[in-house]
Amino acid sequence: MSIKHKVVLYYRKIFETLIYQKGKINSSRIISYHNVSKEDKYKFQEQIKYVSDHFNCITAEEFIILYESGKLFDEKYCAITFDDGFKETFENGIAVLEKHNISASVFVNLSLFLFSENNDKRLLKTYCEKVFPRLMKSNLICKGLSSDQIFSLINRDYEIGTHTVTHPHLSQCSDKELHYELHEPLSFFKKKFNYQVKSIAYPYGRKRDINTLVTKLVQKAGYTAAFTGISRRISRDKNINKFEFPRTNISLDWSFKYFKACFSGAEDLKDFLCRQY
Supply φ then ψ for residue 82, to 5 degrees: -130, 130
What is the pLDDT at residue 26? 87
Q: How does DSSP assign 96-160, residue by residue?
A: HHHHTT---EEEE-HHHHHHHHTT-HHHHHHHHHHH-HHHHHTT----BPPHHHHHHHHHTT-EE
Strand partners, 225: 199
Q: Which fold has domain 26-260?
A: TIM Barrel (3.20.20)
Regarding predicted confidence, which is higher, 270 or 237?
270
134 pLDDT tier (thresholds 50, 70, 90)? confident
Task: Find out whether 49 and 78 touch, Cβ atoms under 8 Å.
Answer: no
What is the pLDDT at residue 244? 97
Nearest one of 159, 162, 147 to 193, comparing CA atoms: 147
Q: What percent of the chain has pLDDT over 90?
A: 80
- Determine the Cα–Cα distance for residues 246 and 249; give it in Å rounded to an integer: 10
The predicted-structure confidence for 227-239, as pLDDT tens digits, reads as follows: 999 999 998 877 8
- Determine the Cα–Cα distance for residues 28 and 78; give it in Å rounded to an integer: 6
Average pLDDT over every residue of 213-236: 96
Average pLDDT over every residue of 61-67: 97
120 pLDDT tier (thresholds 50, 70, 90)? confident
Average pLDDT over every residue of 261-267: 91
Is 124 buried (19+), middle (13-18) or exposed (0-12) by CB count in 10 A?
buried
What is the pLDDT at residue 23? 61
The predicted-structure confidence for 141-170, as pLDDT tens digits, reads as follows: 789 999 999 999 999 999 999 999 999 999
For the CA atoms of 200, 209, 13, 24, the dihedral, rounded to the nearest 10 degrees, stands at: -50
Indicate the pTM of the whole model: 0.94
22 pLDDT tier (thresholds 50, 70, 90)? low
Which DSSP category does 1 fall into? Answer: -
Task: Find out whether 177 and 217 touch, Cβ atoms under 8 Å.
Answer: no
Q: Does the pLDDT value for residue 187 go beyond 60?
A: yes
Q: What percent of the chain has pLDDT over 70?
A: 95
Q: Does the pLDDT value for residue 86 go beyond 70?
A: yes
What is the pLDDT at residue 68? 94
Q: Does the pLDDT value for residue 12 go beyond 60?
A: yes
Residue 182: enclosing H or E segment and its boundaries? helix 175-193
What is the pLDDT at residue 20? 54
Which DSSP category does 86 fall into? Answer: B
- 85: Cβ–Cβ under 8 A, 6 or more apart, which residues? 106, 107, 108, 109, 112, 113, 144, 145, 150, 163
3-state secondary structure of 39: coil
State the average pLDDT for the chain.
92
36 pLDDT tier (thresholds 50, 70, 90)? very high
What is the pLDDT at residue 141? 79
What is the pLDDT at residue 136? 75
**What are the residue boundaries of the structural domains of the chain, listed by start?**
26-260
Half-sphere exposure of 149 (CA within 13 A, CB side): 20
> For residue 144, how many other CB atoms are within 10 A of its CB?
25
